[in-house]
């Protein structure tokens, strides 16, 4: 068993209102700050691999502290299991009495996957492989929670919706941070000239992966003309949709957006979307009870950016992390 150093109790600081310092009340700064300046120290996890039905592999990190509860964390687009936001939430959850399983989507975490396909916002079959592995773990976890960031948040909510009332009774909560509930809307926002810095970064990373896959599968994938791609519509039309069985980008977005499925979720779930998130469209802030359903709550602080919610408190936790642990403790 791994030993963790005692941490401040994040629940004690949790609140419903997020009030960052005045100089952090900017969505772009909030989105960039953690990547540039945040460092989270956590003990070395136990590495694990789970096989998929199509003969691929998913790589995972276990943070075990002997707890009876487990949280499964899903990262965002072109992220991985050891990004600061993943480690930050893992640290808070460990202090709150949860073990943590953080997993990498296909092609993420520094390991290219074996199949031509990679990952996408609706790849719930891969999350299901991870969940089934966790449910069968010899530790015999009595309670599980699923949490996801950005694309991983959409994936988490979509998975819970697809499972509906058939969800394993040990899975009791869902959490989503900066969730692009409406993929078409978010793609349109990120296509704006003012979001070019984000779009260029994503395309640069995705371009390297597509080049790798083109060399491995030249009969199916080509990167000729990739440098002319400027938007997710163009990328998803050319790569995501055909590699994963969708007609085109529009069909992919329609099928894989969690927005229209939120009312199928059968366990208490919380979505934290900052109003100043530079990645999200208006549709990503659903307030209609008929859309949210009985189990989903949307909390939308004025500030927080995209996967930000930065705090400068000495305990090192971000507001979203304290809020998450508090939410998971509400029905304990």
Task: Give SS3 for 177.
Answer: strand
Strand partners, 148: 74, 176
Cα distance between residue 213 and residue 201, in whole Å: 19
Answer yes or no: are the C-beta atoms of 267 and 175 closer than 8 Å. Answer: no
Cβ count near 184 (within 10 Å): 19
- Looking at the structure, tell me whether residues 101 and 220 fall in a common domain: no
- Looking at the structure, tell me whether residues 301 and 160 fall in a common domain: yes
Instruction: Please indicate, yes or no, if residue 69 is contained in any of the structural domains.
Output: yes
Instruction: Please indicate, yes or no, if residue 313 is contained in any of the structural domains.
Output: yes
- Looking at the structure, tell me whether residues 238 and 165 fall in a common domain: no
- Looking at the structure, tell me whether residues 94 and 140 fall in a common domain: yes
Residues in the chain: 332
Answer yes or no: are the C-beta atoms of 168 and 137 closer than 8 Å. Answer: no
- Looking at the structure, tell me whether residues 121 and 156 fall in a common domain: yes
Instruction: Please indicate, yes or no, if residue 6 is contained in any of the structural domains.
Output: no
Instruction: Please indicate, yes or no, if residue 17 is contained in any of the structural domains.
Output: no
- Looking at the structure, tell me whether residues 174 and 57 fall in a common domain: yes
The CA-CA-CA angle for residues 78, 81, 87, to 5°, reads 120
**Last residue in a domain, options 256, 273, 306:** 256
Instruction: Please indicate, yes or no, if residue 174 is contained in any of the structural domains.
Output: yes
Catalytic option among 59, 75, 173, 306: 306
- Looking at the structure, tell me whether residues 168 and 275 fall in a common domain: yes
- Looking at the structure, tell me whether residues 245 and 263 fall in a common domain: no
Q: DSSP for 49-71?
A: EEE-TTS-EEEEEEE--S-SEEE
CATH number for position 273: 3.40.50.1820
Q: Which domain holds residue 249?
A: 197-256
Cα distance between residue 174 and residue 181, in whole Å: 14
Reported pTM: 0.94
Torsion of CA 153, 299, 302, 316, to 10 degrees: -70
Instruction: Please say if 306 is a catalytic residue.
Output: yes
**Last residue in a domain, options 256, 272, 295:** 256
- Looking at the structure, tell me whether residues 243 and 292 fall in a common domain: no
Instruction: Please indicate, yes or no, if residue 13 is contained in any of the structural domains.
Output: no
Closest Cα to residue 284, out of 145, 151, 120? 151
Angle, helices 27-37 vs 84-95, to 10°: value is 80
DSSP secondary structure code for residue 83 in this structure = S
The predicted pLDDT at position 16 comes to: 52
Cα distance between residue 271 and residue 157, in whole Å: 9
Give average pLDDT by consecutive 10-residue segment, the chain, 332 residues.
38 60 95 95 97 97 98 98 98 98 97 97 98 98 98 98 97 98 98 97 98 97 97 98 98 98 98 97 96 96 97 89 94 58
- Looking at the structure, tell me whether residues 226 and 309 fall in a common domain: no
- Looking at the structure, tell me whether residues 245 and 285 fall in a common domain: no
Closest Cα to residue 78, out of 252, 194, 208, 234? 208
Closest Cα to residue 153, out of 173, 188, 180? 180
Catalytic option among 31, 74, 121, 150: 150
- Looking at the structure, tell me whether residues 97 and 36 fall in a common domain: yes
Cα 200 to Cα 50, 300, 326, distances in angstroms: 32, 27, 36
Instruction: Please indicate, yes or no, if residue 319 is contained in any of the structural domains.
Output: yes
Catalytic option among 126, 182, 276, 277: 277
**Last residue in a domain, options 206, 241, 256:** 256
Q: How many domains does the chain have?
A: 2
Instruction: Please indicate, yes or no, if residue 75 is contained in any of the structural domains.
Output: yes
């Amino acid at each position: 068993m791994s030993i963790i150093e005692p941490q401040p109790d994040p629940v004690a600081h949790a609140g419903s209102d997020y009030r960052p310092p005045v100089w952090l009340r900017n969505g772009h700064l909030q989105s960039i700050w953690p990547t540039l300046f945040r460092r989270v120290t956590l003990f070395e996890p136990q590495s694990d691999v789970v096989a998929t039905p199509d003969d691929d592999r998913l790589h995972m990190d276990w943070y075990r502290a002997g707890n009876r509860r487990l949280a499964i964390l899903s990262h965002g687009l072109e992220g991985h299991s050891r990004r600061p936001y993943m480690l930050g939430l893992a640290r808070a959850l460990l202090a709150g009495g949860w073990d943590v399983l953080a997993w990498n989507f296909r092609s993420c975490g520094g390991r290219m996957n074996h199949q031509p396909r990679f990952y996408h916002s609706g790849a719930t079959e891969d999350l299901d492989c991870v969940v089934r592995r966790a449910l069968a773990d010899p530790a015999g976890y009595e309670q599980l929670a699923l949490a996801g960031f950005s694309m991983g948040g959409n994936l988490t909510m979509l998975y819970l919706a697809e499972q509906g009332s058939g969800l394993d009774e040990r899975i009791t909560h869902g959490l989503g941070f900066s969730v692009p509930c409406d993929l078409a809307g978010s793609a349109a926002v990120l296509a704006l000239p003012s979001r070019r810095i984000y779009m260029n970064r994503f395309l640069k990373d995705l371009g390297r992966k597509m080049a790798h896959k083109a060399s491995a599968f030249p009969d199916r994938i080509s990167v000729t003309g990739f440098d002319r791609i400027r938007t997710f519509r163009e990328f998803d039309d050319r790569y995501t949709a055909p590699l994963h069985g969708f007609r085109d980008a529009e069909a992919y977005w329609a099928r894989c957006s969690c927005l229209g499925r939120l009312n199928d979720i059968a366990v208490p779930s919380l979505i934290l979307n900052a109003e100043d998130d530079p990645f999200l469209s208006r549709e990503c802030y659903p307030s209609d009870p008929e859309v949210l359903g009985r189990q989903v709550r949307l909390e939308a602080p004025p500030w927080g950016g995209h996967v930000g919610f930065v705090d400068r408190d000495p305990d090192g936790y971000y507001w979203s992390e304290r809020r998450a642990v508090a939410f998971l403790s509400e029905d304990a």
